[in-house]
Structure 1
Amino acid sequence: MEPLKLVAVSAGLREPSSTRLLADRLAEATRARLAEERETEVRVVDLRGLAVDIANNLVAGFPGTALREAVEAVTGADGLIAVTPIFTASYSGLFKSFFDVIDNTALAGKPVLIAATGGTPRHSLALEHALRPMFAYLRAVVAPTGVYAATEDWGSGDGLTGRIERAAEELAALVLGRYGSAGAVADPFENVVPFEQQLSALRP
């Protein structure tokens, strides 16, 4: 049985980068979950080194060797982690430009975990109003938990770690085709008591 392929895309612009650090932590947490069932290979695609190739591709329409290999890694992955810094309440231009290079049907059905970094918690909703709709348009299967890390989260310990572990568990379950099944992440709304039944329980 061939190893599973897990790819993390990091759009961090600095070195070192908190975006890359978050991508690495998410990839390792997911790999650890998957490794309980299958051998898993991890690759991180750092877009900072592909910026010129991405720009040239948008102008000329032809990817260079490094960009082509990165696109093939992403489209051939069993699971994808996509991490971007937040600029002006949305994903970075580099992040969006990379996914513009990819054919808009190539990610259909692919399990994706979305994540982002920023200086303030106020931008955390960018996961829901920017990243999640983009991957929904690409028809990817996006894990319910997105992970946002503000500057203050890196010193908070358990809060960020807990979100990373939950998101990794969900992505691993999606990759293995077990989301919502026994032993995987359960749907929190699966066993909701109907409102009528709750009302009847209150009547004398």
Structure 2
Amino acid sequence: MNRTEAQLIVAATQKEEDPFIRDRNHLFLSLLWITAGRLSEVLKIADSDIENSKITIHAAPGKGIDRVLDIGSDASKVHEYIENWNLRGYLFESIDRNSVRNMIAKYCKDVGLEPVNPHDFRNGRAKELMDGGASSESIKGILGHTGIQERIPSHNFRHADGVGDSDSGKNVLSREQVDKLLKIPKSDFEQRVMVLMLDHGYTRDKAVQVLKDTEKLFK
């Protein structure tokens, strides 16, 4: 997912007839991209988390760390939304995880895009930052990743579903993780590496090694 696709999805909210739903969905999807936050984190943004141009993103227990992001002029949209609808507490209390997924699916269909999920906003924004030259450490900070040593290590493929290489010391992935990588063209090696870095908090060298070990199982 890229910025253009995100913008198309956000723009599709303007067709909503109800002004509150239009404003709410527009801001929610904008923040999902701008902050690169997890779905659960963006749903829990409250008016007290906004101060001038900064927004505090609270991580769910066991899902990384809290962080304060400066979103610049985009903060004005948040302040305007709060004031226009006289909101207090959670800004998106009227929607939940399922309604967000349905919302995104509807807008993708409206603008002729293949279906995406909320996490694609996070990965797409992170890729944009990486392509723009941001360091892996700064991206980890924005995403709220903890240190590599605090991340859950990848499962051995044999341990995950009983198939794969007999060498239990190799860094290979579970079937679910492999399926996710296989959706990315093999020619786009860097994209596969980036997904591992984002999902597991790996350094680039670690992600490359894990990917190489895993790909050996499919030769």
| TM-score for both structures, normalised by structure 2 | 0.25
Higher RCO, 1 vs 2 (CA within 8 Å, ≥6 residues apart)? 1
More strand, by proportion:
1
More helix, by proportion:
2
| TM-score for both structures, normalised by structure 1 | 0.26
